Amino acid sequence: MKLLRWIKKFFLFCYYRGKYWPKIWDQRAIMEYSAKELHKCRGLGLTHPEIRDAVKQILDLKLGELVLDIGCGGGGGLKLCDEEKVPAVGIDFSYEMARLTKNAIHYPILNADIRYLPFRHGVFQKIICHGVLHYVPSKDIELALREMVRVLSPGGLIFIGDLPKKSAKRNWWGFQTTFFAREELENLARRVSKRIEFVNLGRNTLDFILK
Ligand SMILES: C[S@@+](CC[C@H](N)C(=O)[O-])C[C@H]1O[C@@H](n2cnc3c(N)ncnc32)[C@H](O)[C@@H]1O
């Protein structure tokens, strides 16, 4: 059984190699996760209860606030919203990931890309973007940040958690990921928002808030 699984994985790997990120996440959703097991999965950032608790403190969710979880993946961010009893919407550019998570959580999830958010201006009070920016081509990072600021309501807060440049050595599966030095990301973020604040979650990541 295990051997069959590995053979299947190998063929899928060959098929998807050289294709693009949404397909890779489709494949991961199909092969690695099940709706039931999703929240136990350690490979998807906010599914870690410790990370989720730290982010929960930062977000300080209040009743009546509407949250957008961008690149919701396994739905860890949405679970956080559920725990705080606030309404939320998730988006993920992997159709399969969105579908899988939709089966596991009661929030609406759309199949959409961070660069072109299908929402009107200023509708969300809080936005979560965790472990997503490094999949966006570097030329589009500013566009992604602008889109988040566009859909944020005045006085709202965006939490961004991502990987630091140190991890850039690995070109996972032959795909290019975008990694940032703190200053690079800070400069980009300052172009779209005046108020940016780095937060220390006690881990080796770049975590910051945009207002
Ligand atoms: C590492 S997982 C993080 C999941 C979740 N945010 C968390 O922290 O638990 C990355 C997720 O981002 C999604 N993603 C990557 N690039 C995206 C994009 N441009 N727009 C929307 N979703 C994206 C992937 O499909 C995947 O589900």
State how far the Cα of 48 lies from the Cα of 166, in Å rounded to an integer. Answer: 22
> Ligand 1 centroid to 101 CA: how many Å?
12
Low-confidence ranges of the chain (pLDDT < 70): 9, 12-19, 35-44, 164-177
Task: Tell me if residue 160 falls in helix, strand or coil.
Answer: strand
The tokens 């693009």 sit on which residue? Answer: 20
Q: What angle do CA 19, 105, 76 make, to 5 degrees?
A: 65
Looking at residue 76, its amino acid is G
Count of CB atoms within 10 A of residue 8's CB?
12
Domains of the chain and any CATH numbers: 2-210 (3.40.50.150)
**Residue 169 has what pLDDT?**
46
Nearest-atom number in ligand 1 for the CA of 113 is 20
pLDDT tens, residue by residue, 154-210 = 999 999 988 766 554 445 555 566 777 778 888 888 888 877 777 877 777 778 788
CB 28 within 8 A of CB 37: no
Structure pTM? 0.86
Give ligand 1 pocket residues (Cβ under 6 A). 21, 25, 44-47, 70-74, 76-77, 91-94, 97, 113-114, 130-132, 135-136
**Residue 38 has what pLDDT?**
67
Nearest-atom number in ligand 1 for the CA of 97 is 27
DSSP 44: S
Q: Which residue out of 26, 28, 93 has the highest number of ligand 1 atoms within 8 Å of its CB and is therefore the one to mutate?
A: 93
CB 26 within 8 A of CB 96: yes
Count of CB atoms within 10 A of residue 203's CB?
12
**Residue 170 has what pLDDT?**
47
